[in-house]
Structure formats: C-alpha cells, structure tokens
Structure 1
Amino acid sequence: MERSKIVAVITGAISILLAIAYLILVQLLDYRDMKPAPISQFTPQQVVVAMYSNGEENFL
C-alpha cells in the first residue's frame, strides 16, 4: 500500500472510534436520573407592580 492509503485507513479508523466513543458518552449522559431542584431552594422574590395612567400613580 502507498503511504497516503495507509494514512487514510488510519484516519478513518480513528474517526470511527471517536464516533463510537461519542455515542457511548451520549447514551451514558442520557440515562442519568435528572431530578428538578427542590422548591425550598428557590428564594421568593418580592415584586412591586406600579401602573401609570394619566399622570396618576396606582400601586397594586
């Protein structure tokens, strides 16, 4: 075989190995148990809503 053909075969084999490793990694990450964060970890935010109408200020 010529050197360029050998390089092409080796490059192709490396590409296939990387593709298989990527698929395995994606499968492992997909099977993780994803649970939402508990609501107790969220801090409540206070919100002030103000409406402006005809130059008058009304708070809700």
Structure 2
Amino acid sequence: MNRSKLVAIITGAISVILAIAYLILVQLLDYRDMKPAPISQFEQAPEIICQFWQIDKTVKL
C-alpha cells in the first residue's frame, strides 16, 4: 500500500470519528432539561435600556 492511500484512509477515519463525536455531542445537548429564564430577568432589560439611553421610564417601550 503506497503512502498516499494510507494517508487518505487515516484522514477518512479521523473525519468519521469527528462526525460521530459531533453527533453524540449534539444529542447530549439536545436532551438537556431546558428551563425558561426567570421572569425577573425579562423585567430588568427595559430598565437597563432606559438607563443606558436615558429614556424617561414613563414611556412604554
């Protein structure tokens, strides 16, 4: 077996291993228990925006 064929086989094997590892990682991340963010975090955003842009808080965003 010549050297270029051996390099091609090794490269292909590495590619398959990386692809399988990626699929396993995606499956593990997909099965996590995703909880929504607490409501208190959503209420802080307009206040921070008002402070940054110096907007009057009586104005509805």
TM-score in terms of structure 1 length: 0.70
Larger radius of gyration: 1
Residues 1:48 and 1:17: Cα distance change in structure 2 (over 3 Å) = same
Q: Count the aligned residue pairs.
A: 49
Q: Percent identity?
A: 78
Whichever structure has more helix as a proportion of its residues is 2
CA RMSD of aligned residues (A): 1.8
Partner SS state of residue 40, structure 2: helix
Residues 1:47 and 1:24: Cα distance change in structure 2 (over 3 Å) = farther
- Runs of 5+ consecutive residues of structure 1 not aligned to the other structure: 50-60
1:1-60 paired onto structure 2 within 5 Å: 1-41=1-41, 42-43=43-44, 45=47, 46-48=57-59
Distance 1:29 1:39 in 2: 24
Whichever structure has more strand as a proportion of its residues is 1
Deviations along 1:16-41, one digit per CA (max 9) or x if unpaired, are: 00000000000000001111012133
TM-score in terms of structure 2 length: 0.69
Structure 1: 4+ residue segments shifted above 6 A: none
